[in-house]
């Protein structure tokens, strides 16, 4: 593991994903450290057409998942998405998620930001500046694969706590449900 770096949260910004960002997102989704954990519609290492088909509806507001690039000092380095879990009742019930919960999912795309403590810093800032700005949201969940110990540790550092295990039929995998409450962030 690399040594942690003291990242300045003031240098972290979030911008809505745009069509112009899709080549970068495609590149990131095809890196080994991302494709090991991320699929696009059941496919690891998606081709560009898969990325377009998945993310254009989100960019255009036809899908209820909000996608962002995470910049550090104006450089795009990570991807994060969020949604209101109540908008996905089947998944909410299957994963046993309470009402008024948001869900987030994320990855660091640029390898020089891996294993240095960046994840916890930007996730925490995203929760405060984006997720919990919505007054109806009382908690937020994230559901890494149970064997993804690096992600789990980053989420713990951001303030998430283990809640329970659940079967994620959409991904055909166990989900390690982690939760953070509004009052621990705001």
Q: What is the CATH number of the domain that holds 169?
A: 3.40.630.30
Residue 85, both tokens: 């879990």
Kindly state whether residue 4 falls inside one of the protein's structural domains. Answer: no
Look at residue 124 in the predicted model and tell me its pLDDT: 96
Kindly state whether residue 26 falls inside one of the protein's structural domains. Answer: yes
Kindly state whether residue 160 falls inside one of the protein's structural domains. Answer: yes
The answer to whether residue 114 scores a pLDDT higher than 60 is yes
Kindly state whether residue 101 falls inside one of the protein's structural domains. Answer: yes
Burial 90-112 (b: 16+ CB within 10 A, else e): ebbeebebeeebbbbbbbbbbee
Global pTM value: 0.94
C-beta separation of 17 from 26 below 8 A: no
Give 70's contacts (C-beta < 8 A, 6+ positions apart): 12, 13, 14, 76, 77, 78, 79, 80, 106, 122, 126
Kindly state whether residue 38 falls inside one of the protein's structural domains. Answer: yes
Look at residue 174 in the predicted model and tell me its pLDDT: 83
Kindly state whether residue 163 falls inside one of the protein's structural domains. Answer: yes
The answer to whether residue 2 scores a pLDDT higher than 60 is no
Q: Which domain holds residue 50?
A: 9-184
Domain count, the chain: 1
Place of tokens 């329970």: 164
Mean pLDDT of the chain: 93
Kindly state whether residue 2 falls inside one of the protein's structural domains. Answer: no
Kindly state whether residue 144 falls inside one of the protein's structural domains. Answer: yes
């Amino acid at each position: 593991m690399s040594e942690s770096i003291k990242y300045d949260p003031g240098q972290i910004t979030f911008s809505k994903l745009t069509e112009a960002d899709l080549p970068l997102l495609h590149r990131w989704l095809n890196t080994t450290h991302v494709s090991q954990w991320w699929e696009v519609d059941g496919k690891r290492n998606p081709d560009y057409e898969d990325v377009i088909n998945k993310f254009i509806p989100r960019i255009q507001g036809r899908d209820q998942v909000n996608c962002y690039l995470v910049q550090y000092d104006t450089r795009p380095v990570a991807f994060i998405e969020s949604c209101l879990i109540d908008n996905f009742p089947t998944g909410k019930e299957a994963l046993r998620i309470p009402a008024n919960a948001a869900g987030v999912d994320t990855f660091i795309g640029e390898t020089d930001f891996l294993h240095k403590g960046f994840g916890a810093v930007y996730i925490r800032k995203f929760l405060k500046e984006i997720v919990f700005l919505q007054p109806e949201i009382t908690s937020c969940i994230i559901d890494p694969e149970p064997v993804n110990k690096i992600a789990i540790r980053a989420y713990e550092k951001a303030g998430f706590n283990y809640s329970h295990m659940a079967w994620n039929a959409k991904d055909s995998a166990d989900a390690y449900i982690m939760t953070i409450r509004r009052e621990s962030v705001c």
